[in-house]
Amino acid sequence: MSLHAVDRSRIAPAAAEQAVEWLVEQQSGDFSEPRRQAWQEWRAADSEHERAWQRIESVNRGLRGLDTTLAMAALGAPARRSRRDALKLLMLCALAGGGVIGLRDSEPLLALRSDEATDVGERRALRLLDGSRLELNTASAVDIRFDAGQRWIEMRQGEILLDGARDSRPLRIHTPQGLIETMGGRLNVRILGRSSQVSLFDGDADLIKDGQRQSLRPGQRANLSPMRIETAGSASEDSVAWTQGMLVASGMRLDDFLAELGRYRRGHLGCDPQVAGLLISGSYPLDHTERILAMLPKALPVEVHSLTRYWVKVHPRATG
């Protein structure tokens, strides 16, 4: 008799999140035959997808009857989160192959544990207690703490545009790489892997890191890197066109364009190295990523191949 070893290594985060979304959709009671076929194609597209699905089926069986209110409290999630969110959080924890403590600050769990968060492809505008306007881009998460002495925004992931109201209290934005302080102004902050990019459009802002302090003037951009504060050129209004639901490209490389577009949809979106350097310009509606992909062959010598909705790759146009 042979023994079958179950692979309990960590599931890739993207595959884990997609598996959870498929399960939630199945349990919604509105899982059509075309969607069932797409789910099967997704499973067959990549061995990691199938491994994530097998794991989630096991996790789902173990979660039946679980008191999700207590579980969410253990994970530090806000009580206002729904049972649906609770199940997603717990399943993602189990799929990641580690314990709750080690996963408290991992993506995409941060969104479920934060005061305010957006899903992939979602954008949201908030009016804060001091009158400031805070806009969250796709897949972003923040905690907000205002008291008599200060105004504090903890950025967990993603991107924000803040139009800060003037106030006697400093307004501080904390990212994993450092601190941004303003008394009032319009600024964009985006977490980029191991750095945070800050663009100032109006008002004042100081960047603070490990004893360093650098002031920004309107129109300037800088990066908070792991080691220092780095000047990074000029602030561009095009970079915050997402607040109007648009992606603006001006001579942008195709691989960079697809990376930006990929932030607003689930799954893999990439291109063949042969077409990565093609340049694209224009303004594109972020709520219609499928239309943008369908347009690409009309603008560039490329073809868009979709294995499933969640696996799309752009190739050179076939000749002959």
Domains and CATH numbers, the chain: 13-113 (no CATH), 117-236 (2.60.120.1440), 245-316 (3.55.50.30)
How many CB atoms neighbour CB 301 within 10 A? 12
pLDDT for position 103: 40
pLDDT for position 206: 96
pLDDT for position 69: 46
pLDDT for position 51: 85
pLDDT for position 91: 57
Q: Is the pLDDT of residue 270 over 70?
A: yes
How far apart CA 304 and CA 130 sit, in angstroms, is 47
Binning pLDDT at 50, 70 and 90, where does residue 164 land? very high
Binning pLDDT at 50, 70 and 90, where does residue 180 land? very high
Binning pLDDT at 50, 70 and 90, where does residue 55 land? confident
Q: What is the pLDDT of residues 85-144, one digit of tens each?
A: 555 555 555 555 444 333 444 455 556 567 888 888 999 999 999 999 999 999 999 999
Q: Which of 1-5, 23-27, 33-37, 195-199 has the lowest mean pLDDT?
A: 1-5
Q: How many CA atoms lie within 13 Å of 214's alpha carbon, on the beta-carbon side?
A: 18
pLDDT for position 75: 41
Binning pLDDT at 50, 70 and 90, where does residue 268 land? confident
Proportion of the chain above pLDDT 90, given as a percent:
54
Binning pLDDT at 50, 70 and 90, where does residue 319 land? confident
